[in-house]
Amino acid sequence: MRIGIDDTDSPAGMCTTYLGAVLASRLARAGFRVTETFLVRLNPNVIYKTRGNAAICIACEGDPDTAFTLTCGLVDELADLGCDATNPGVVVAEHPLPSSFYRKAVQDFCGIDEAISLLEKCGARYRGYKNCRGLIGAAAAVACDFDDATWELLSYRKPERWGTPRSVDRQSLFSAEQETWPHTWDSVDRENDVVVCVPHTPDPVLFGIRGESPAWVETARGWVRSEEPSIEQIFLTNQGTDAHLIPGRIGDLREGCSYLVTGTVSSVPLTGNGGHVSFILGDRGESVRCMAYEPTKGFRDVIRLLLPGDEVTVAGSYKGGSINLEKIQVRTVTRVVLTRPPHCGVCGKRMTSAGTGKGYKCRECGNRSREHEQTVVERGLACGWYEVPPSARRHLAKPLIRGPPPTV
Ligand code: ATP
């Protein structure tokens, strides 16, 4: 059986992953055999999300009615039901839900009625609280089927400390990264000297370590010195897999979906107010603006090196008419040739124009030439993939250390 939960938190506190961790432990205590805990990230552009649009699925063996009662009881106990925007959903399914629903929820948008009719059709037990929106995420989590997966160890704070400053030793996080990278990633951003894996929000999360296996995230965790956690859980997750990206074509992009798009740079990149960098990407007569926002830091330096004619593939969400860049593949760099008057073959001075169509003349010795000097400009931009730094990376974005996006 699979249990799904979503939409239990609010900006003021709680976190569905914490509910998942507590539920896994209570199920085990009640005699269930928990076989897997999934942290399922869904479409990052959903406006209803509190933070990272996460939902939880727990695969276990035991009595479904007891599981349903236990899960609903925990939602009643812990969800921030007082918040208008918190609309929890609980699903307990003895039979698989179609993975197409998961794929739609991670790459597109789903409706509440759509989730409910799916649950009815599949004979799942479910409970939607308030406007029932959480049933979308809960059903999608139960339906999850990852083509690629990573792991995250989440450490949670004791309830009496929620809302107070977190005590996690900064240097110990850098040591954890140093000792375990590239098997774990994004605990810190070494390039920008910032800690990434400790949130600043009032939720129960103390820190999270992301990596390629349970063993590696546990090894990294062993380096971390912090306040004493209340509970820890290792989740199998679609984070860091680019599961949100779909192949797209300029002129055919839908608001709120995330794409891999190939085209030709058609404008010189501009740095606008606030340090955001933009350029226009074109393909077959259509064009779209690509944005590298200020928080992407050094990534913008790569974007500033682009020139019209360069062929690139970009990855990112299409929002408000722009693609917000998560990474970019420079496929070809256009050759830029600088044409100048030549040096004089007699006296070595730089010649000057002798007038339109008349070639060049040496002002020093009067020598004439029709040949100009051509220099290939050193572009300083190599072909290959470039990505935003860990501090600006979205949960679903695949770090290049794991390889390029799946569909390229
Ligand atoms: P939490 O920790 O509580 O899960 P969150 O940042 O993950 O916080 P939610 O509070 O769960 O965000 O809010 C997201 C809401 O959007 C949920 O109700 C979920 O069911 C819904 N949702 C998720 N994905 C989609 C989608 N693709 N289309 C429509 N609704 C979605």
The model's pLDDT over 156-182, given as tens digits with 9 standing for 90+, comes to 999 999 999 999 999 999 999 999 999
Which atom in ligand 1 lies closest to the alpha carbon of residue 109? 28
pLDDT of res. 374:
93
Is pLDDT at 408 greater than 90 in this prediction? no
Contact 83, 10 (CB under 8 A): yes
Residue 225 CA, ligand 1 centroid: distance in Å: 32
Q: Which of 42, 104, 113 to mutate to test the pocket of ligand 1 (most atoms within 8 A of CB)?
A: 42
- Alpha-carbon distance of 393 to 408, in angstroms, equals 20
Dig out the tokens for 33 from the structure. Answer: 């055999």
pLDDT of res. 203:
92
Furthest CA-CA distance within the chain: 100
Residue with tokens 């979503």: 6
Residue with tokens 């794409």: 259
pLDDT of res. 51:
87
Is pLDDT at 88 greater than 80 in this prediction? yes
Element (H, E) at 377: none
Mean pLDDT over 332-345 rounds to: 94
Mean pLDDT over 217-221 rounds to: 98
Contact 340, 268 (CB under 8 A): no
Q: Among residues 236, 320, 321, 246, which one has the least CA distance to residue 58?
A: 236
Q: Among residues 4, 221, 226, 246, which one has the least CA distance to residue 126?
A: 4
Mapped onto helix, strand or coil, the DSSP state of residue 218 is helix
Residue 300 CA, ligand 1 centroid: distance in Å: 30
Contact 317, 288 (CB under 8 A): no
Query: What confidence category does residue 11 fall into, taking pLDDT thresholds of 50, 70 and 90?
Result: confident
Percent pLDDT > 70 in the chain is 100
pLDDT of res. 199:
96
Mean pLDDT over 357-375 rounds to: 93
The model's pLDDT over 89-120, given as tens digits with 9 standing for 90+, comes to 999 999 999 999 999 999 999 999 999 999 99
Mean of all residue pLDDT scores within the chain = 96
Spell out which residues line ligand 1, taking CB within 6 angstroms: 6-9, 15-16, 42-43, 46, 48-55, 87, 105, 109-110, 133-134, 136-137
Query: What confidence category does residue 12 fall into, taking pLDDT thresholds of 50, 70 and 90?
Result: confident
Percent pLDDT > 90 in the chain is 96
Which atom in ligand 1 lies closest to the alpha carbon of residue 42? 24
- Alpha-carbon distance of 135 to 132, in angstroms, equals 6
Residue 264 CA, ligand 1 centroid: distance in Å: 35
Residue 6 CA, ligand 1 centroid: distance in Å: 7
- Alpha-carbon distance of 379 to 80, in angstroms, equals 54
Residue 244 CA, ligand 1 centroid: distance in Å: 14
Of all protein residues, whose CA lies closest to atom 10 belonging to ligand 1? 7
